[in-house]
Amino acid sequence: MNPFLPKSKSDLLLWQVLAFIISVLGGLCSGSSLEINGGDGVAAPREFDYFKLALQWPGTVCPRSPHCCSSNACCRGSNAPTEFTIHGLWPDYNDGTWPACCTRSSFDRKEISTLLDPLEKYWPSLSCGSPSKCYGGKGSFWGHEWEKHGTCSSPVVQDEYNYFLTTLNVYFKYNVTRVLNEAGYVPSNSEKYPLGGIVSAIENAFHATPSLACSNGAVKELYLCFNKDFKPRDCAVRSSLQSEIFSQSSCPTYVSLPVHVSLGLEDDGTTVAWIPDNETL
């Protein structure tokens, strides 16, 4: 009898398990699934498929902030944002998943010092919260977007400064607020607009289909999607549970674009609580 052959079913099972482990380790070592980033020992996910520009509608997001504070753009009174603002530029996969926290490149505010004015206006935080950082602790809104999403933008966007600059440029070039206003979809606390009309207005302007997310029938976020050369593409993903392509949306047939009236800060700098959720919209 060959001494290297399994002598029982349990031996055969053990051999099969060992063979599977060896094959997996071989694949990792060959770099077919994961890559190791430099010397930091972080396993990087595969390269993303497309970009998603996520925009927030202040009229829906602001009333749901629990408090007002100096870092919250909703608190700026007459200077509070009244158009879509940037949430982030997110690298995504076609299967509906996305990479995150791809390197240990920490956010450095000094790197974007020359961009602070447009960032404060068009990419402001709409809450008082401190988002979690990729590797522990709390940080700023911009820091969260860079560390979670921006670090996964390579090889298209290589560094922090260009991540924020590129996002601003895409936002200015594809001005959703202007497109909707010109089509008659203006902020209102009384009007309801057909979701299909909003989608069609953007399709006609950019030749690609957006995706929207709503809260209580109000537009909360709007997403524009781009190929890696920043040419618009449809925001459609393939579900792992379904074979067809579909656009994700949590919106009803008719939606609102509510106006938010900023309460601002008191003269002494103390915070002012927002209207409770059950009293809005």
Q: Are 255 and 219 in contact (CB under 8 A)?
A: yes
Does any domain span residue 4? no
Does any domain span residue 20? no
Does any domain span residue 39? no
Residue 65 — very low, low, confident or very high, per pLDDT cuts 50/70/90? confident
pLDDT digits (tens, 9 = 90+) for 84-105: 999 999 999 999 999 999 999 9
Range of the domain at 59: 48-279
More confident: 99 or 3: 99
Query: How many domains does the chain contain in total?
Result: 1
144 included as an active-site residue? no
Does any domain span residue 154? yes
Q: Are 72 and 129 in contact (CB under 8 A)?
A: no
Does any domain span residue 16? no
Pairwise CA distance, residues 160 & 66, whole Å: 30
Does any domain span residue 224? yes
Q: Apex CA 82: angle with CA 89 and CA 189, to 5°?
A: 120
Kindly state the average pLDDT of the residues 237-258. Answer: 66
Is 240 a residue whose pLDDT tops 50? Answer: no
| Partners of 78 in beta bridges | none
Reading the block at residue 239, the tokens are 């579900």
Does any domain span residue 32? no
Residue 14 — very low, low, confident or very high, per pLDDT cuts 50/70/90? low
- Write down the catalytic residue from 87, 144, 160, 221: 87
Does any domain span residue 228? yes
207 included as an active-site residue? no
145 included as an active-site residue? yes
Domain with 191 in it: what CATH number? 3.90.730.10
- Write down the catalytic residue from 47, 67, 83, 145: 145
**Other CB atoms within 10 A of residue 191 CB:** 14
Pairwise CA distance, residues 34 & 42, whole Å: 10
- Write down the catalytic residue from 144, 147, 149, 260: 149
Its pTM stands at 0.78
pLDDT digits (tens, 9 = 90+) for 123-162: 999 999 889 899 888 999 999 999 999 999 999 999 999 9
Residue 242 — very low, low, confident or very high, per pLDDT cuts 50/70/90? very low
pLDDT digits (tens, 9 = 90+) for 206-225: 999 999 999 999 999 999 99
Kindly state the average pLDDT of the residues 1-8. Answer: 50
